[in-house]
Amino acid sequence: MDNLCANLLEEAVGISKGGRVVVVEDCVQMSGAFVLHHFLKRSLYPDTSDAVIFIAFAHPFSHYERILRKMGCNLTVHRKNHRFVFLDMLTLECPDRNGKETRQDGLLALYGEIEKAVEIYSSLEGSRIITIMIDDISLIEVAANGSSNHVLDFLHYCYTLKAKYGCSFVTLNHEDIYSSANTLPLILQLEYLADVIIKAEPLATGLASDVHGQLSVLNKGSVCDLGGSSSKVRNFHFRVKENIVDYFYPGTQT
Amino acid sequence: MASSRPRGGSFSRNISSAATAQIPGVKVGPNGTSFLSSGIPDLDQILGGGFTLGSLVMIMEDPEAPHHMLLLRNFMSQGLIHKQPLLYASPERDPRGFLGTLPSPMASKEEKSHERPAEQDANLRIAWQYKKYFGEQNSEVQRGGKAEYCNDFDLRKPLERHFYSGQRVDCISLRDSPNLAPLLERCSTFSAQISKSDGNITCAGRIAIQSLCSPQCDFSDKDWEMLSFIRSLKGMVRSSGAVAVISFPPSLVSPTFLKRWQHLADTLISVKAIPDEDKELAKLLTGYQDMLGLLSVHKVARINTQVPAILEATTFSMKLRKRRALVLECLNQAPVDGSSGSSYGTSGSCSGSSKSGNLDF
Amino acid sequence: MAETICRALRDGAFEGEHAPALTIKDTIDTPLGSFVFNHILTQLTSNILAGKSQARGVVLVALSRPPSFYAELLKNKGFDVSSSSKWLRVLDCYSDPLGWKNKLMERGTVRNPYEETLLKTSLCKNLKELDKVLSSIIELGKEIVEEGKGRFAVAIDSVSEILRHSSLPSIARILSHLHSHDQVSCIFCLLHVDLHEAKVAATLEYLSTMHADVEPIVQRTNGQRNTSEDLPMVEQSFKRGKFHVRFKRRNGRVRAMREELYVEGSGIKITEVSSEDGITAQSLVPKVQFNLDLSEKERLDRAKVVLPFEHQGTGKPIQIYDGRKSLNESENEEKQASVEKPQTTEDSGRGEIIYFRDSDDEMPDSDEDPDDDLDI
């Protein structure tokens, strides 16, 4: 039963052979972090040798460690087995004092760390997909003191790793921040570059204990690949539990 | 009803009694988190135990009413009673003067004079009407000892001086500095003192920042600087054993930045004034006469867990019980018989305001 | 009719004229612009290989997608990628637009960050210096065509990316330089309109000779971003859209075309909108601010309106008020005369012209003929 439910999200997202960009969008009322946890667990399944590089702006390692442990995935062990890299950026600052250069350098250094990790991991044996995850893009903007162009430059560089190493991306951003016209380009650019957009929203009727909210999955299919267009849009409800998230179509909950 | 709340199972309660002995005022919660009391028993109850240690609490002020000050005062007083270090920042010239307005805890005698269902077994099945008493067990009142997890405060009685004179109490005015760097530095030294060693908290601390973006501060127009400060503060607090409470007037933050502030908050609370002598409201809400204002909980800290906190109600009325202690009541729980609503989960044993029905047992 | 675009790009620049330029625009509602771009690129490529086009080759400025993407694209379309160096050069502004990778390599953080492809590429490590980008585009173009003769096409896969690094005027300068360069046969570029202010789209429209808009089939009415209510529509908009082309013709006319665009298999299909529905046919005409035609009801209504100067129902001859005292009793000739000169000011007796001298050196009004010095 649980297995079937989890597939509703997986079915909507589809199976990836790497090189896929997933953007998760949420709002103040409903956090979308659980989707991130899902992808994290998915990439660290024991039957693959895939690896994850996790860039944390929102929460420290202990937070994710505990959540994933409840989902049956031990991050500490994966870290030791070279399948998981955690970059703690909670205190990353790219201050503005010496002009633009410093601001860029902070993100440049971060990118350097990511690329280094990707280079090392991809040289290891076995065919593996490396997934790069960023848990809050809006906080990169804060770290870069509001320069969304620097954030986009940074993300562009991250995306270049897709071409050479076939990396996948899962990023989280808050949609409700970008409501005015001058802030819109950041989230629009993310959506242009995304293959899958997942939006977590509360129900219009408010939070309930048995239905926590709804998830809309916009799968552009292979717009960025060359195959046919298999774009599809799915919409379903979910209920988050500690160890698993139930996904179900409205009204079909048992 | 109460049973649908995700937290507060008997499991975590059992651990808590074992582990909190060393640190006064800290209660162990679920998922390896700990709680500090907000200084308002009802609010602790609503939030599932209190403010999570390491979290950032943001209070959205009402531009017309000083209800946020009530929350800040109780929060600070509670910490001082537990002898926890305190950092207080305010846009006033003399922030230390504010300490003189902090409320004093109610005499514990008064508290105890009321009968409670004393040695109640936690596993005992009780009728739902009695569930509110169940919370009392949760709020960890250690009888006899002075350090209760959560006190009731008498808003009319100032805190005795010795509580805040000799201790590690740091005050800073936001007004004279052109940017937030000095405040950030103070916060960082403060949280360094109480940082966790090997994940174990040795001491808990409280940071209270009043009206962060108030217009008399020079940095109030620097949106990104303030955001960056909040983010840094959040990072610091997270790795230490402190709770930071920031109150701010949301109308002074531009809408998109307001959303960013709200996203940064672990726990988000707003207070609202209620219109005076509004006949419509008086009809609609029972106990309208005694209400000070409304308090809404928008977000509850989700540290170490992905399960959202589903509250039974998000908006509560703020009332003064016996004109002294701040209580929160569910708006939608107004009993039909016209008496004021039962206080949220706790202290039903205290006979409420004059109109209160007989809810004592 | 998308062939019209391809034909225009194929035919290239006429002697002494600017190269034809196409701007493809899309928005997030129908993000299909890149499909159109790929379509035009492959069409042009096959024209080049068949020797039908004026251009001998293409310089592709890759900004939003890596060169390897284009290698794959061309391979899938059946082109021989290994021999592509004869007709294709890629200016790779994707891999390292700010020189970060280069810096990291020098610092020893990473070893070899660059990707290898079958295409002949040249790397651009500083997108901020647009003049260098321009000179390398022209240099690459000259590599394809033999020195001095022949022309090449320029394809820019997303102007939006450049706009993040440079100002609009500097980009406009580069583009107009390319238009007027005598070895450029045609230019086409892609723009995501909603990432920029309205001015950007207007500037590019101004500079180009053709612009193609990809629009959603159903326009969103509320102007809001995607909400969960219109999900079926969103799904549709990833598959098809309206394709509007405006074509500035050399004779000064503007040709507007409306078509529909489907994403199909590995490419797109553009079909003409069936002219059966008259609305589409009518909207082919550029829209005017006012109605030139009246509906039947409007015509009847107009006929009913009683004009204020008509003597209603008295059967007297209709007279037109000309600003003077009523001359009912006057002769017909006189009335005609007044109609002839209704605006003469001395007749009305009310008009007055107040004249201020501009300065004191001007002579007071004299009888001197001001046109005296005119020598005819």
pLDDT in tens, A199-251: 998 887 776 778 899 998 988 875 444 444 467 888 899 999 998 898 988 87
Mutate to test the interface with A, among B236, B264, B306, B332 (most CBs of A within 10 A): B306
SS3 B327: strand
Q: How confident is the model at residue C287 (pLDDT cuts 50, 70, 90)?
A: low
- Please name which of C100, C169, C137, C196 lies closest in space to residue C19, comparing C-alpha atoms: C137
So what's the pLDDT on residue A17? 74
Name every chain B residue with its beta carbon within 8 A of the beta carbon of A59.
Answer: 238, 303
| Chains contacting B (3+ CB pairs below 8 angstroms) | A
Residues of A in contact with C228 (CB under 8 A): 199, 201, 214, 216, 235
pLDDT band at C94 (very low <50, low <70, confident <90, very high): very high
What's the one-letter identity of residue A149? N
Q: CA nearest C198 in A: which residue? A: A181
Closest CA to B174 of B252, B229, B255, B103: B229
Domains of chain A: 22-195 (3.40.50.300)
Predicted pLDDT of residue B264: 94
Per-residue pLDDT band for A77 (boundaries 50, 70, 90) equals very high
Closest by Cβ to A226, choosing from C76, C97, C115: C76
**Hey, which CATH number is domain B2-110+130-333, 3.40.50.970, 3.30.310.50, 3.40.50.2000, 3.40.50.300?**
3.40.50.300
Give dist(CA C303, CA C317) in Å, integer: 19
3 state DSSP class of C227: coil
Residue whose structure tokens are 């940082």 = B195
pLDDT digits (tens, 9 = 90+) for C1-31: 578 888 888 888 888 888 999 999 998 888 8
For residue C302, what are the contacts with CB-CB under 8 A and spacing of at least 6?
C294
Pairing mode, strands C254-264 and C267-272:
antiparallel
Q: In one letter, which amino acid is C16?
A: G
- Give per-residue pLDDT as tens, C197-213: 889 999 999 999 998 99
Nearest to A139 among B231, B303, B310 (CB): B231
Residue of C nearest to A236 (CA): C228
Query: How far is the CA of B299 from the CAs of A62, B79, C122, in angstroms?
Result: 21, 23, 52
Interface ipTM > 0.95: no
Q: Do the chains contact at A142 and B307, CB–CB below 8 Å?
A: no
| Closest residue on chain C to A198 (Cα) | C228
On whether any CB of chain C is under 8 Å from the CB of A220, the answer is yes
**Token pair 């002898």 in the structure block, residue:** B83
**Cβ B304–A176 below 8 Å, yes or no?**
no
Which of A44-53, B74-83, C168-177, C315-324 is the least confident region?
A: C315-324
Strands C240-248 and C254-264: antiparallel
Instruction: Give contacts of C 55-94 with A, CB under 8 A.
Output: 64-66, 68-69, 72-73, 76, 94
pLDDT in tens, A229-238: 467 888 899 9
pLDDT band, residue C187 (cuts 50/70/90): very high
Q: What is the DSSP letter of B53?
A: T
H-state helical runs in C147-253: 159-165, 168-180, 198-207, 231-237
Residue with tokens 């109460």: B2
Q: C94: which chain A residues are within 8 Å (Cβ-Cβ)?
A: 160, 163
Q: What is the mean pLDDT of residues C333-343?
A: 49
Read off the pLDDT band of C317 (50, 70, 90). low
A229·C97 Cβ contact <8 A: no
Distances (CA, A) of C91 to B30, B191, C307: 56, 52, 70
Q: Tell me if A62 and B199 make a contact (CB, 8 A cut-off).
A: yes
CA distance A250 to chain B (A): 19
Q: Return the H-helix or E-strand segment holding C188.
A: strand C184-192
Structure tokens at B53: 């240690």
Instruction: Report the chain B residue with the minimal C-alpha distance to residue A184.
Output: B256
User: What is the 3-state secondary structure of chain A?
Assistant: CHHHHHHHHHHHHCCCCCCCEEEEEECCCCCCHHHHHHHHHHHCCCCCCCEEEEEECCCCHHHHHHHHHHCCCCHHHHHHCCCEEEEECCCCCCCCCCCHHHHHHHHHHHHHHHHHHHHHHHHCCCCCCEEEEECCHHHHHHHCCCCHHHHHHHHHHHHHHHHHHCCEEEEEEEHHHCCCCCCHHHHHHHHHHCCEEEEEECCCCCCCCCCCEEEEEEECCCCCCCCCCCCEEEEEEEEECCCCEEEECCCCCC
Residue ranges, chain B, pLDDT below 70: 1-22, 108-147, 167, 195-201, 332-361
Q: Which residues of A touch B256 (CB under 8 A)?
A: 177-180, 183
Distance (Å, whole) CA A214 – CA A237 = 4
Question: Cβ of A226 under 8 Å from any chain C Cβ?
Answer: yes
Burial class (CB in 10 A: 0-12, 13-18, 19+), A108: buried
Q: Would the CB atoms of C265 and A221 count as touching at under 8 Å?
A: no
The answer to whether the predicted template modeling score (pTM) of the entire model surpasses 0.90 is no
A66 CA: distance to closest CA in chain C (Å): 32
Q: C88 CA to chain A: closest CA distance, Å?
A: 20
Q: At what angle do helices C33-49 and C2-11 cross, to 10 degrees?
A: 50
Q: Do A223 and C107 touch (CB under 8 A)?
A: no
The end-to-end CA distance of chain C, in Å, is 57
Give the gap in angstroms from C-alpha C95 to the nearest C-alpha of chain A. 6
What is the per-residue pLDDT for C278? 42
- In one-letter notation, the amino acid at residue C18 is H
Question: Among A220, A175, A130, A139, which residue's Cα sits nearest to residue A30?
Answer: A175
CATH numbers and ranges of domains, chain C: 2-219+232-283 (3.40.50.300)
pLDDT of residue B136: 43
Interface probe for C, chosen from A103, A233, A238 (most Cβ of C below 10 Å), is A233
Q: Give ∠ CA B144-B146-B150 in degrees, rounded to 5.
A: 105
Size of the A and C interface in Cβ pairs below 8 Å = 111
- How far lies A9's CA from each of A15, A73, A173, B154, C255, in Å? 11, 19, 19, 52, 47
Give the CA diameter of chain C.
Answer: 106
- pLDDT recorded at residue B58: 96
Residues of C with Cβ-Cβ distance to A191 under 8 angstroms: 28, 31
Q: Regarding predicted confidence, which is higher, B221 or C227?
A: B221
Chains A and B touch, contact meaning at least 3 pairs of CB atoms under 8 angstroms apart: yes
CB pair distance less than 8 Å for B262 and A142: no
Least trusted range by pLDDT, from A18-32, A146-160, C122-136, C347-361: C347-361
